[in-house]
Chain A
Amino acid sequence: QVQLQESGPGLVKPSGTLSLSCTVSGDSINSNSWWTWVRQSPEKGLEWLGEIYHSGSTNYNPSLRSRVTISLDKSKNQFSLRLTSVTAADTAMYFCVRVVYESDSTLFDYWGQGTQVTVSS
C-alpha cells in the first residue's frame, strides 16, 4: 500500500520560505512516477505547484516558477517543496501526490493527508 506523509512547519512568516517534506512508503522514489505538490485554499481552490522525477527532472507551474523548488532525498525516500517570498496568499493545505504517466493517461493516484500551512507574523 502506497502512503505519502507531509511534514513541516505549520506557520511561516511573511516574506519567509515555506519548506515541506513528503515521505513515501510502499513505493520507491526511483519508480516510474512523478512526485508532485498540490495545494488547496478557499480562495484559489486546488492548484498544481510542480513535480519531480527520480532523474531530477522538474516541471513547475508557470505562475509560481520563480518561487518554487522541488527536490529529492533518495536516501530517505522523500521529496521536498520550497516556496520563497511567501505571502498570506500562500496560506493553504499542501498535499504531496504520486502521479503515474501512462501512454494514454495520467493518474494522480495516491495523495498524502495534507498539511495546513499558514503565513502570518
Chain B
Amino acid sequence: EIVLTQSPGTLSLSPGERATVSCRASQSVSSTYLAWFQQTPGQAPRLLIYGASRRATGIPDRFSGSASGTDFTLAISRLEPEDSAVYFCQLYGSSRWTFGQGTKVEIK
C-alpha cells in the first residue's frame, strides 16, 4: 500500500506570499495519477490539479503543481484570503486511490 506524507502540517502565511505544500509517496508511481484538492470547512474537496501539473477547470493560474520522482509539490503564488483551506494530495497505486493527511494553509 502506498503511503502519502504531506508537509508541513500547517502553514501560516500573509496575503501575497507564496505557499509550498509537499507530498512524498512511499514508492515510485506514475505522476499521471497525482492530484491536489482544496477543502474548506463544511465543504467537499475541490479538484485543483490533476496529472501532477494540470489545472482543473476554473482554477486560477496562481495554483501550480510539479513532480520529481516520488516528491510532488503544490505551489500557491500570491496568496489570497480565500486560499485558507486544507490541501490534500491523492495518488493511485496498489489497486487503490490514497490521500495524504492534509496540510492546513492559514492566511494571517
Interface residues of A (CB under 8 A from B): 45-48, 59, 61-63, 95, 104-109, 111-114
Contacts and interface: CB of A to CB of B under 8 A. Distances in A.
8 contacts: A45-B100, A48-B96, A48-B98, A104-B51, A106-B35, A107-B56, A108-B90, A113-B43
Contacts of B33: 105-106
Contacts of A46: 45, 88, 90, 99
Nearest to B95: A62
Interface of B: 1, 32-33, 35, 37, 43-47, 50-51, 54, 56-57, 88, 90, 92, 94-102
Looking at chain A's contact residues, the main secondary structure is strand
A113 B41 CA distance: 12
Contacts of B97: 48
Given A95-B44, A114-B44, A107 B50 contact: yes
Contacts of A107: 35, 47, 50, 56
A90 to B, nearest CB: 17
Contacts of B45: 46, 95, 108, 111
Most buried by A among B32, B97, B98: B97
Given A45-B101, A48-B96, A105-B50, 11 more contacts: A45-B102, A59-B95, A63-B1, A95-B45, A105-B32, A105-B54, A106-B51, A108-B37, A109-B56, A111-B46, A113-B43
A112 B44 contact: yes
A32 B98 CA distance: 23
Contacts of A95: 44-45
A106 B44 contact: no
B44 A111 contact: yes
B99 A45 contact: yes
Nearest to A4: B44
Nearest to B100: A45
Nearest to A64: B96
A107 B90 CA distance: 11
A56 B28 CA distance: 31
A38 to B, nearest CB: 8
